[in-house]
Amino acid sequence: MSYDLIVIGSGPGGYVCAVKAAQLGLKVAVVEKRATYGGTCLNIGCIPSKALLHASERFDEVGHLGALGVKVGPAELDLPAMLAHKDATVKSNVDGVAYLFKKNKIDGIIGTGRILAPGKVEVTKAGGATELLETKAIVIATGSDSAPLPGVTIDEKRVVTSTGALELPAVPKKLIVVGAGVIGLELGSVWRRLGAEVTVVEFLDRILPGMDGEVVKQFQRMLQKQGISFRLGTKVTAVDASGETLKVSIEPVKEGEAAAEVLDADVVLVAIGRRPYTEGLGLSEAGVALDERRRVKVDAHYQTSVPGIYAIGDVIAGPMLAHKAEDEGVAIAEILAGQAGHVNYGAIPAVVYTNPEIASVGATEEELKAAGIDYKVGKFPFSANGRARAMLQTEGFVKILSDAKTDRLLGGHIVGTGAGEMIHEIVVLMEFAGSAEDLGRTTHAHPTMSESVKEAALAAWTKPIHM
């Protein structure tokens, strides 16, 4: 069988690339090694974790409704039903991708893809049979998998990655999360709300590296108020799984600061990051170059070192975000169809889906200082927002960063309820090179949480009204 495009991987980058290419008239096939489409995101990542985050937040919310005049008895956890909701959500989404393939006449092929040469992909099926596919172009969209912790064996039962953490059959009494990144904090917060005692061990001296420092400091205090403990500047050196209780050895990153310790845990979640999935694809044999972190090297048009072979998403440089992969998928599809595909990497939002959420786009203060850019800061707390007060959701604030000379928006950072939805007006404005004044002069419905975004923009431009 011959195609215009073969995509290896059906995650957000891969399936969106395939759909867009088919819409533009290309004959497309997608090779997927899982039994279902959607990649890590839909099967064992973004989607199931958000189902559990939402469900656990509603469970926790029941205990705080008295302040709103709603009297209810203590909430009772039905964990199997919560996990069933998660599974049903996954099925709905992966079935949706299969529908999109059918609707757009895309051939979905279940099997493991290997690039033999430009234009040739060998697919190994479950029974061992192979099929050779020919194509004009190949897009590698194989994503990433969990980075291992040296010396620690993952069994996905007691020592788990995010995959196992989505399937725990009971709430652990003690959960140790190794890594204070997005995945560790999101899943740690799920099990904390459901009753686990959660300790986060982080190698660095801060949580959420790369995000705005001021936002992160306040956010850590919020998580501590929720009962999550942090051991920063600390490394895990071993996990002993020989007994009924896991024994987790930790010690300070800087020698001499404190003595080594052993912590007890029922479950250990290893969430120290993700690594690009490039194994078994035949890349070296095909001549596809990788960088020092084993990511696929690409040019400005997503082409690898081999003409006709392209790559997008987590498997190339840049933030490992599903929506970044989607935009790259659209861009390369347009390029292959003769159009001018493009991604604005300066306006890609990032969200931490805890409660409250963190949302960010553009530069942080730390990045602007390092670059020597003269900037202005506008901040507005939700405690001064009428809708937030009515909802008892006054924690957090909005921060707007703008160029001191031109007033152009350089970054936006929000910590608070609904931050992941509110960030997008800042994203859109940055996409169109708008200014703090533009945002501050834009009418916002009253009363809404989003008025805090307007007020922060006014603070960056001139002065806020309500503070």
Bridge partners (DSSP) of residue 435 are 408
CB atoms within 10 A of CB 130: 11
- Identified catalytic residue from 301, 342, 446, 466: 446
Give the other-Cβ count within 10 Å of 64's Cβ: 10
Element (H, E) at 57: helix 46-62
- The secondary structure element, H or E, covering residue 41 is helix 39-44
Residue for token pair 């099997």: 111
**What is the SS3 assignment for 176?**
strand
- Respond yes or no: is residue 446 known to be catalytic: yes
Q: Please state, in angstroms and as integers, the Cα–Cα distance from residue 300 to each residue in 283, 309, 328, 338, following that order.
A: 20, 13, 11, 15
Pairing assessment for the beta strands 261-265 and 246-252 based on DSSP bridges:
antiparallel
Residue 362, both tokens: 């553009």
H/E stretch holding 39 reads helix 39-44
Strands (E), 159-256: 159-160, 174-178, 197-201, 229-231, 234-240, 246-252
Tokens in use for 230? 């942090």
Radius of gyration of the chain, Cα coordinates, nearest whole angstrom: 24
Residue ranges of alpha helices (H) inside 310-418 are: 322-336, 365-370, 386-391
Yes or no: say if 35 and 109 are a contact pair by the CB < 8 Å rule.
Answer: no
Is-contact 198 228, C-beta < 8 A?
A: yes
DSSP sequence for 74-135: PP---HHHHHHHHHHHHHHHHHHHHHHHHHTT-EEEESEEEEEETTEEEEE-TTS-EEEEEE
Q: Rounded to an integer, what is the distance from CA 8 to the centroid of its chain?
A: 21
Question: Minimal CA–CA distance to 314: which of 202, 431, 147?
Answer: 147
Positions annotated as catalytic residues are 446
